[in-house]
Structure 1
């Protein structure tokens, strides 16, 4: 029971508005470190979701995060005020696409490595 709950903890990442946090970090530090950091995290979660066969949670997490991001924009969150220019959706939509593409890259590599037999989910030996 506890092992199952612990294996689902990385999907809690989708409950934070990581797209807005990446833009806020980039704005505050005048760099792209926020986007690169969260790209690495999203690739890793996509890889992990494919490895443990929980792509449905990944899809659900993306939907929750997109809705959360839209709600923050529509509710005029202070985080959004830091980085938006004319329309916050102009910054948000390309980043959502970028992060989904990063997750698809992680899923692809997990699938490719599973096919090659680089890692195995079950601990049984092949004879």
Structure 2
């Protein structure tokens, strides 16, 4: 590790099990803003937390722009009620989307079951 408050790109890649290319992508997207020491990128604790939040958002199915929106709402001098409410709203929308997908999958499974049953019936009726 570079110093207690600064992290190299390799440190973060290892800690979060992502590639350095992934971290550079988030940097190019303006979400992470490392300091430079020559060619070395040095990420702050704030950048580390942002990366953690970006990756968590990705696992939850949030787009990069949704994660950016939530991260930009953070205000260390407030109770962040606005940010938390926004996150709850996004969680609810994501949950509704997943529930709709589950319903669609169940319908498709039912249709596959029906098609399979008809195929098996047709095979049973075929002469040997």
How high is the TM-score relative to the length of structure 1?
A: 0.32
Q: With CA pairs under 8 Å and 6+ residues apart, which has the higher RCO, 1 or 2?
A: 1
Q: Which has the larger radius of gyration?
A: 2
TM-score normalised by structure 2 residue count: 0.32
Q: Which has the higher strand share?
A: 2
Q: Which has the higher helix share?
A: 1
